[in-house]
Amino acid sequence: MGRSEMFVLDLVVIAVMVFGLYFPRHRRKDLVVAFLGVNIGVLAVADALSSTAASAGLGLGLFGVLSIIRLRSSELDQPEIAYYFVALALGLLGGLAVGPDWLTPALMVALVAVLYVGDHPKLFSGYRTQVMNLDRAFTDEAELTAHLEELLGATVHRAKVRKVDLINASTLVEVRYQLRSGKGATGPDREAATRVEGALR
């Protein structure tokens, strides 16, 4: 597969990733230009490196440096980090010659397919992670778990206490929980949301 075909393939795949997967699911506009920019930038640099005597190790070094710079410049959640690394990987695959001809397109499609499945809204849709600041000081784990389950109307799988303030009577906790089946946006869920708002500071 020629270089021009690889460039077109990369543009198509990154467009599908950004406009077909990421933005419809996460709606964060600033990262659209970040994903596109880093992909095209890495594609151009990787192609330039492949045209010289530079080794593939230099290309991988570029991958690492760009990753560190980007991840230190803004806070990203875990799915966005995955999208960012795939954008980098697509650029490298498009710019570096990889044989046989079918391998690069297959790898690009596989990367986007992994994002599609792993970030699908229906995959573990009932699971949530939330940091809560409770207006009580909990020193008993079982009591804390029971309080969180009543407050959230959910099954708590893990409650990691970050801070207990006995003076001001507050507990900062990271809770991972699963919504109970059969609940919608009204009724018990709305009551639970009201209780959560009262417990958060």
Same structural domain, 66 and 134: no
Residue 28: which of 75, 67, 89, 64 has the closest Cα?
75
Give the per-residue pLDDT at 61.
64
* pLDDT at 119 exceeding the cut of 80: yes
- Residue where a domain terminates, one of 93, 118, 143: 118
Query: Same domain, yes or no, for 69 and 112?
Result: yes
Same domain, 156 and 114: no
Which domain range does residue 191 map to? 127-199
Tabulate helix, strand, coil % of the chain (nearest 5): 60, 15, 25
Do the Cβ atoms of 59 and 93 come closer than 8 Å?
no
Q: State how many domains the chain has.
A: 2
Q: Is the pLDDT of residue 189 over 50?
A: no
Give the Cβ contact number of residue 159 at 10 Å.
Answer: 20
pLDDT band at 188 (very low <50, low <70, confident <90, very high): very low
Q: What is the pLDDT of residues 41-82, one digit of tens each?
A: 888 877 777 765 555 565 566 666 666 655 555 567 788 888
**Long-range pairs of 43-48 with CB within 8 A, sequence gap ≥ 24:** 43/7, 43/10, 43/90, 43/91, 43/92, 43/94, 43/95, 44/95, 45/95, 46/91, 46/92, 46/94, 46/95, 46/96, 47/3, 47/7, 47/94, 47/95, 47/96, 48/95
Tell me, what's the pLDDT at 187?
39
Instruction: Give the per-residue pLDDT at 197.
Output: 44
What CATH code is carried by the domain that includes residue 191?
A: 3.30.70
Last residue of a domain, one of 66, 94, 118: 118
Backbone angles phi, psi at 170, to 5 degrees: -145, 155
Q: Do 188 and 132 have their domain in common?
A: yes
Position 64 scores a pLDDT of 64
Helix axes 3-15, 29-50, angle to 10 degrees: 160
113 and 17 share a domain? yes
Residues 96 and 41 reside in one and the same domain = yes
pLDDT tens track for 156-187: 999 999 999 999 999 999 999 999 875 543 33
Same domain, 36 and 53: yes
**Residue type (1 letter), 28:** R
Examine the domain organization and report whether 109 and 133 are in the same domain: no
Structural domain ending residue among the three candidates 92, 118, 144: 118
Q: What percent of the chain clears pLDDT 90, i.e. is strictly above it?
A: 41
Model pLDDT, residue 116: 94
Res. 8: pLDDT tops 50:
yes
